[in-house]
Amino acid sequence: MTTGQVTLVAVLAIPAVGAVAVAGLTRRADRAARIVATVVAAIAFLVSLSLYGTGDRGWFRYQAATAGPGILPWHELDLTWVPGLDLRFHLGVDGISYPLVVLTTLLTLLCCAYSIRHVPAGGPGGYLVALLLVIEVGIVGTFLALDLVLFFVFFEVVLLPMFVVIAGWGGEDRRRAARKFVLYTLFGSVLLLVGVVTVVSAAGTADIVALTGGGNLSRTTQLAAFVLLAVAFAVKSPLWPLHTWLPDAHTQAPTVGSVILAGVLLKMGTYGIIRVAVGVAPEGARWAAPVLGVLAVAAVVVGSLVCLRQTDLKRLIAYSSVGHMGFVLLGVATLTATGIEAALIGNVAHGVITGLLFFLAGAIKDRLHTGSLTELGGLRERMPALSGLFAFAAVASLGLPGLAGFWGEAFAVVAALQRGGPLWTALAVVAAVGGALTAAYFLRLLRRLTHGPASPVVAAAPASRFGAGELVAWSPLIVLALAVGLVPALVIGFAGAPVEALTGVLDR
């Protein structure tokens, strides 16, 4: 095996083995288990970084293999998995998946580090971080899988541990939220399984590389497969109108659960639309593009309007994700290189910024024991540093130029305009209005949360400083929100060649 192939296996094996070790250690020494989990997550993060620089493909020098149309992996591992069914353990990484793999390992590391000193009520913290490592295996595996059946397996690995995280360490209504999460995602899983079976039975292979560009699938099969796959991924993203599980899950989940949910778990859906639904069924994507565009813009507007009425901090941030994922879907729906690159940077920016927002919302709730905006006015009077960081994250999320949230939203609108025609021009205009509504609800949030006289709850709160765990968890996200905003090539600089290859398939 080459160094790159070993790295592909290691980035999955390290957290998997670490999860087992941490779970075993928790019974004897819970705090030590959380420290071990953080070390394991740090190693996995460093290994994920090396996926790009391993071998003779030095940093920022792209040398693509010619594995197939639309798939240009830097490293690829293809082993026999189930010989009787011709299933293969096929992994690969390219410029589309690499930023998401790194984002996943980074957020898992930050959540484990945060959990060393911040364990929510519900059970030993060691079990919580062990579950986070299992979730990391599932999410990273989803981004690396180049076999449809393997993709489905990794996609489903995430379901049970996330259910346990919400139900075990969440808020007062955690069990209902966890059940709702499971019911919705199981519905999506059934559709995904049917879509995978449809494609594999018709094409005679589960190899995503061979299937990219449609393989030998008929137009009818591609249309049916795209509908099944797109709806399945829309549930996970979640995209309007299949989003209603998300606010409950976010509101009840512990802080680290919300960070993982918003930061990377939602990206499994949007990544699946790009890599699997669009890649495997391009004719279906072209046929459904106008519908996807309309649904995307509806998500932007509806999400923003709902946020304007929210009075709970975490619930508002959760609904904001619906709007941000709408911009991501709009970029994908254009089926252009500009649009897909906007979707990719929008994915990463949302993971960084919304992860930071949920960390900060958790800090506010820990200190003030409430998330109600009616009780949190005047935060800057009592906690100016925390108020300032929250304002930074909020303006990053609303798309202020110079911060990470700007590029995905702005260029999704640009891509719709470039697509041309009355429909796409109208969608671009409405999406731009939705962007203005995004600014409106975040500015309203800051006015209610940070400005004005301190509310009784805020005024009575004791003065507090940032803990070491909080600084460790927040600092990388603050830096990335600024760095990606100033240098978007940190994300889309990797994706140029594979996106061109994918759009070349779509243009056929």
| Residue 241 confidence class, pLDDT cut points 50, 70, 90 | confident
Q: Give the count of alpha carbons within 13 A of 122, CB side only.
A: 23
Look at residue 66 and tell me whether its pLDDT is greater than 50: no
φ, ψ for residue 93, nearest 5 deg:
-135, 140
Overall average pLDDT of the 58-79 stretch: 58
Q: At what angle do helices 337-368 and 98-115 cross, to 10 degrees?
A: 0
Residue 268, number of CB atoms within 10 A of its CB: 21
| Residue 58 confidence class, pLDDT cut points 50, 70, 90 | very low
Q: At what angle do helices 174-203 and 245-252 cross, to 10 degrees?
A: 130
Amino acid 69: pLDDT? 57
Q: Give the C-alpha separation, 311 to 290, whole Å.
A: 34
Amino acid letter at 373? L
| Residue 501 confidence class, pLDDT cut points 50, 70, 90 | confident
| Residue 507 confidence class, pLDDT cut points 50, 70, 90 | low
Amino acid 252: pLDDT? 85
| Residue 491 confidence class, pLDDT cut points 50, 70, 90 | confident
Amino acid 62: pLDDT? 36
Domain span at residue 188 reads 3-506
Amino acid 508: pLDDT? 63
Domain count, the chain: 1
Amino acid 174: pLDDT? 85
Look at residue 276 and tell me whether its pLDDT is greater than 60: yes
Instruction: Report residue 234 CA to chain centroid gap.
Output: 13
Residue 59, number of CB atoms within 10 A of its CB: 7
Check residues 338 and 379 and name the one with the higher pLDDT.
338
Look at residue 56 and tell me whether its pLDDT is greater than 70: no
What share of the chain in percent tops pLDDT 70?
Answer: 95
| Residue 191 confidence class, pLDDT cut points 50, 70, 90 | very high
8 Å CB contact between 333 and 284 = no
Output the six-digit token pair for 305.
């309007």
Q: Is 160 left (phi over 0), alpha (psi -120 to 50) or beta?
A: alpha
Closest C-alpha to 148, from 191, 87, 105, 190: 87
Look at residue 60 and tell me whether its pLDDT is greater than 60: no
**CA-to-CA dists, residue 437 to 303, 324, 443, angstroms:** 9, 12, 10
Amino acid 61: pLDDT? 35
Closest C-alpha to 263, from 481, 460, 65, 87: 481
Look at residue 129 and tell me whether its pLDDT is greater than 50: yes
**CA-to-CA dists, residue 411 to 52, 231, 430, angstroms:** 26, 24, 14
Amino acid 64: pLDDT? 39
Summarize pLDDT for 197-207 with one digit per residue, the tens.
Answer: 999 888 888 88
User: Helix, strand, or coil here: 145?
Assistant: strand
Summarize pLDDT for 286-304 with one digit per residue, the tens.
Answer: 999 999 999 999 999 998 8
Question: What is the DSSP-derived secondary structure letter of residue 275?
Answer: I
Peptide bond into 241 cis (omega under 30): yes
User: Helix, strand, or coil here: 404?
Assistant: coil
Q: Give the C-alpha separation, 399 to 465, whole Å.
A: 29
| Residue 334 confidence class, pLDDT cut points 50, 70, 90 | very high
| Residue 53 confidence class, pLDDT cut points 50, 70, 90 | low
Summarize pLDDT for 471-489 with one digit per residue, the tens.
Answer: 888 999 999 999 999 999 8
Output the six-digit token pair for 22.
């941490």
| Residue 359 confidence class, pLDDT cut points 50, 70, 90 | very high
Amino acid 185: pLDDT? 86
Summarize pLDDT for 399-417 with one digit per residue, the tens.
Answer: 889 999 899 899 999 999 9
Which residues make beta-bridge pairs with 90?
Answer: 78
State the average pLDDT for the chain. 87
What would the DSSP string read from start to end of 52-109? HHSTT--TT-------BTTB--SEEEEEEEEGGGTEEEEEEE-TTTHHHHHHHHHHHH
Indicate the pTM of the whole model.
0.91
Q: Give the C-alpha separation, 239 to 334, whole Å.
A: 16
Q: 420 Cβ partners below 8 Å, 6+ apart?
A: none
Sole residue written with tokens 């110079």: 402
Overall average pLDDT of the 259-286 stretch: 90
Overall average pLDDT of the 459-481 stretch: 83
Q: Give the C-alpha separation, 92 to 77, whole Å.
A: 6
Question: What is the number of residues in the chain?
Answer: 508
Q: Give the C-alpha separation, 182 to 413, whole Å.
A: 33
User: Helix, strand, or coil here: 372?
Assistant: strand
Of 17-26, 110-119, 170-179, least confident by mean pLDDT is: 170-179
| Residue 29 confidence class, pLDDT cut points 50, 70, 90 | confident
User: Helix, strand, or coil here: 211?
Assistant: helix
Check residues 134 and 170 and name the one with the higher pLDDT.
134
Overall average pLDDT of the 334-349 stretch: 92
Of 55-59, 86-90, 246-250, least confident by mean pLDDT is: 55-59
Question: What is the DSSP-derived secondary structure letter of residue 358?
Answer: H
In 362-384, which positions are buried (b, 16+ CB within 10 angstroms) versus exposed (e)?
bbbbebbebbebeebbbbbbbbe
Sole residue written with tokens 């296996």: 9
Q: Rg of the chain's alpha carbons, rounded to an integer? A: 22
